[in-house]
Structure 1
Amino acid sequence: MTTIIKNKATDLFLENNPNFSTFENLRKNGLEFLEAKGLPHLKEEEYKFTQISKKIEQNISSFKGAKRSELTSENLKSNLFEGFEGDVVVFNNGHFDAELSSISAQNYSFSKLSETQPDLLGQIAKNEKDPFTALNSLAFEDGIHISVEKGKKVEKPIFLIHFNKANEGQIINSRILIEIAENAEVTFIENTVSLDEEVYFSNAVVEIKVNQNAHGYYYRLQNENRKAIGANNFATDIHRDATFTSVATQLQGDMLRNNLTLNLLDSGCEGNMYGLYLLNGKTHVDNHTNVDHTKPHCDSNELYKGVLADSSRGVFNGKIFVRQDAQKTNAFQQNNNILMSEDAIVNTKPQLEIWADDVKCSHGCTTGQLEDEALFYLQARGIGKEHAKGLLLYAFAGEVFEHIAYEPFKEYCIQLVQERLGSNF
């Protein structure tokens, strides 16, 4: 693999990010990685279709961390979807906002990372795995730690909402650590909201540990402004007989890179990830996924779908690793795309690396356009051409939403997608 080459963006980040006294070892490791290798260069294999370092250099002028913006209860209220009931954790440019948050901590504990500094921090999303994880480890000021109690179910979802805006700096770092204890269950919903239309760079790291026979559900929505640049590293350790499901919906931004890793660490566990990217304009979204099967009798399911219009670009790179001890593995991976214009581009690369011999694994990808016969069939029955297109596209995309178990959020996502498909998509 090509060595990451140091570049202008690396130097600017290092110059403008002080060395905070908390999380000393984590920051030291992140600093060493960045000083040695820098941010990804266009020759780096993992980033060859997403030149995010160049995008940052060209669009970010202030490499300082963004200060808190003025937030009101109206900002929060206007971004709560209909039917939502549950706790709300608010982030203001990556900083936890206690005043606007509503945290019952019923069946779970909540604290700032600086108040607990658990040893687990940095052990799931490792600095050496991705340069933006290392950058976050160096630059984030604080984060949150949520720990669900053993044998407990958090009855209502926990809503994590990020309000982002360039404010005396254009860099936004957030850090979240979640532990789900044995036999516990919890649902998280995450949404990122842009407060204006100006450019910023957000760099987020989420680490989740799902302990024995626990169940975690994590639903994410990315619908930021058209100048937003983002790198998101999301890593989960899944233990014996536990299940974890991620569903991601991506609608808008300038350039977004999402790294999602599921580590299946013991027998009987299950990891699922589903995603939909519905892009137009010049939006560029890159999804890199990793599923690592290390033990026998584990299952993984992965389905990502994309609909791309105008001059948008999608990237999907999915890797499944089946280690030698991971006999009786069942692993499924699929990526399907529809291109709505000649200028839309998708680069897709599903991958399997198998060292075990008693497994059931499949992967594949498709890229095409709407079927003329299906479109003609609907038009022949009196449905207008644009409406017929919308119906076919929703039939294609809607399969992803079947995996969202929390109905109010499912309906909200469906509404957003239908609005997009109902416009001049």
Structure 2
Amino acid sequence: MSTIDAWVARQRERASQLPGAALPWLARRRADAIARFADLGWPTSRLEGWRHTSLAFLDQQALAAPAFAHPAFALATLRAAFDEGDHWLVFVNGRFAPVLSVTGMLPAGMKAGALSEALNSAPDAVEAAFGSADDSASPYALNLALCNDGAFVHLARGTALEQPLHLVFIGATGAADTHLRNLIVADANSEATVVEHHVGGGATLGTVVTRVQAAQDARITHVKLQQQDAQAIHLAQIEAEQARGAYFASHSLSFGARLARNDIRTRFAGEGCETLFNGLYHVDGRRHVDHHTLIEHARPLGTSREYYRGLVNGNARGVFAGRIIVAQDAQRTDAIQRCDNLLLSRLAEADARPELEIYADDVKCAHGATVGQIDEDALFYLRARGIDTDHARQLFTYAFAAEVIERIAHAAVRKRGRGLLLSSLPGGARMEALQ
């Protein structure tokens, strides 16, 4: 029997208990979202954007709630890798955990807290940033219909956050599915780094939508570290809109989950915008990871750089589909898109599809992709200098992936990224000793 009706029934049962249930605008959007989900169903390979990542199996699969260690232990391990002055908002099983959260002294003009609380204290601000299910893929429509919590961050004009704000989502027992929505609103000339962590087992199915609104000359860096356990299904969307002169950087590091899908997109709504999309994924066993990106150059003088690299081992599969659209009015656009994949086994599979769609005539754009194995000549070069074959392969694999990590500007976050990379690679402990 199909699970679609069960999801619709679940939403109706939960609707009155969800945060903001008494807000008419939110009730309407949730009703529209669940109707859209029911109409579309789970994406299958018949849809062009999902032909490598069908979710048809979710139409028949009952979800179970896996066990996980106490969240305090997971958080302590995580916080030990970062600076004392960082700010932490922690969510357990999709709900805000104030006892575990430490925001410290935030700068004047900044608010950071739970979305569930902001729906009561600042409903108008949430409404303006919340988004709708129009044109959303069905998993993200389901997210809007069922989202229970997430973070709400507002940076007033000219506010600069010196230390990163960490949004930590920890899974524990008792939740078969979680649906999170994060809203980041950056007013003119504001600046912040937001690090989104997804750790542990948590829900079998998790959907996450993170929305970023960057006003004129705002600078927002978003780093996502996904390291969930092997049974997790992680479906996520990051969507940004940039006003004149705004800068948005998205760093996506995917090291966990049995199936992870990341849809990342931004739109240049003003002149002179700049963006960096930077990603690394490592999959092994029979795991599957998919990054779909979209950069819309809607206005002139925009600059975008997009670099993704994948390490694919065992019977795993890595997918990248990137699209850059340059509108007719977006003259003097400068865009580069690149995806490179390293196959570490004979059965590994990688699909890379970069696309440029250009309607302007005064542009500088380039794109490319590679899929291959470690160069045997390069291995021979190292072996001739006394390095054994296994160590030589580890060196090349790490060097291939580390280039992505080095683009992260913040030193502590960059160090954490290196640690995650090394812990995921065979022989990583040996490599770490050389750092």
Fold equivalence (TM over 0.5): yes
**Alignment partner of 1:52 is 2:55:** yes
1:238-257 equivalences in 2 (<5 Å)? 238-257=242-261
Q: CA deviation at 1:113?
A: 3.6
Q: CA deviation at 1:102?
A: 0.9
In structure 2, do the counterparts of structure 1 residues 148 and 348 end up closer, same or farther at CA, with 3 Å as the change threshold? Answer: same
Contact 1:81 1:412 in 2 (8 A): no
Q: CA deviation at 1:36?
A: 2.4
**Counterpart residue number, 1:290:** 294
Distance 2:221 2:89 in 1: 16
In structure 2, do the counterparts of structure 1 residues 240 and 35 end up closer, same or farther at CA, with 3 Å as the change threshold? Answer: same
Task: Map Cα deviations across residues 369-406 of structure 1 (whole Å, 9 max, x no partner).
Answer: 10001001111111111111111111111111121111
Task: Map Cα deviations across residues 292-333 of structure 1 (whole Å, 9 max, x no partner).
Answer: 010000011100000111011011110111111111111110
Q: CA deviation at 1:126?
A: 4.4
**Counterpart residue number, 1:3:** none
225-234 or 16-25, larger mean C-alpha shift: 16-25
Provide TM-score, normalisation by structure 1: 0.91
Task: Map Cα deviations across residues 6-28 of structure 1 (whole Å, 9 max, x no partner).
Answer: x9232221122232424212202
Distance 1:36 1:58 in 2: 17
- The 3-state SS of whatever aligns with 2:216 is coil
**Alignment partner of 1:183 is 2:185:** no
1:16-415 equivalences in 2 (<5 Å)? 16-17=10-11, 18-20=14-16, 21=21, 22=23, 23-54=26-57, 56-57=58-59, 59-61=61-63, 71=70, 73-84=72-83, 85-104=85-104, 105-107=106-108, 108-111=110-113, 112-115=117-120, 116-117=122-123, 118-123=126-131, 126-167=133-174, 169-195=175-201, 200-415=204-419
97-106 or 199-208, larger mean C-alpha shift: 97-106
Contact 1:294 1:323 in 2 (8 A): yes
Q: CA deviation at 1:415?
A: 2.1
Distance 1:204 1:423 in 2: 32
In structure 2, do the counterparts of structure 1 residues 91 and 305 end up closer, same or farther at CA, with 3 Å as the change threshold? Answer: same
| Aligned residues with identical type, % of pairs | 29
In structure 2, do the counterparts of structure 1 residues 365 and 70 end up closer, same or farther at CA, with 3 Å as the change threshold? Answer: closer
Distance 2:75 2:309 in 1: 30
Q: CA deviation at 1:283?
A: 1.3
Distance 2:60 2:227 in 1: 22
In structure 2, do the counterparts of structure 1 residues 83 and 193 end up closer, same or farther at CA, with 3 Å as the change threshold? Answer: closer
Task: Map Cα deviations across residues 257-297 of structure 1 (whole Å, 9 max, x no partner).
Answer: 11001111100110111000111111100100000010000
- Cα RMSD of the aligned pairs, angstroms, is 2.2
- Show structure 2 runs of 5+ residues with no match: 430-435
Distance 2:380 2:78 in 1: 39
Please tell me the residue identity of whatever aligns with 2:355: Q
Distance 1:423 1:69 in 2: 26
In structure 2, do the counterparts of structure 1 residues 90 and 69 end up closer, same or farther at CA, with 3 Å as the change threshold? Answer: farther
Contact 1:164 1:172 in 2 (8 A): no
Please tell me the residue identity of whatever aligns with 2:6: L
**Counterpart residue number, 1:4:** none
Contact 1:379 1:385 in 2 (8 A): yes
**Counterpart residue number, 2:9:** 15
Distance 2:425 2:282 in 1: 9
Task: Map Cα deviations across residues 151-189 of structure 1 (whole Å, 9 max, x no partner).
Answer: 12101100111101351x411111110111111110011
Contact 2:66 2:204 in 1 (8 A): no
Contact 2:133 2:144 in 1 (8 A): no
Contact 1:127 1:133 in 2 (8 A): no
Contact 1:219 1:248 in 2 (8 A): yes
Distance 1:422 1:72 in 2: 27
- The 3-state SS of whatever aligns with 2:329 is coil
Distance 2:223 2:71 in 1: 25
Q: CA deviation at 1:70?
A: 8.7
Contact 1:201 1:230 in 2 (8 A): yes
Task: Map Cα deviations across residues 132-163 of structure 1 (whole Å, 9 max, x no partner).
Answer: 11101111123331101211210110011110
Please tell me the residue identity of whatever aligns with 2:15: N
Q: CA deviation at 1:52?
A: 2.1
In structure 2, do the counterparts of structure 1 residues 72 and 272 end up closer, same or farther at CA, with 3 Å as the change threshold? Answer: closer
Please tell me the residue identity of whatever aligns with 1:78: T
Contact 1:127 1:137 in 2 (8 A): no
Distance 1:337 1:312 in 2: 12
- The 3-state SS of whatever aligns with 1:99 is coil
Provide TM-score, normalisation by structure 2: 0.89
- The 3-state SS of whatever aligns with 1:417 is helix
Distance 2:135 2:41 in 1: 11
In structure 2, do the counterparts of structure 1 residues 70 and 223 end up closer, same or farther at CA, with 3 Å as the change threshold? Answer: closer
Contact 1:269 1:299 in 2 (8 A): yes
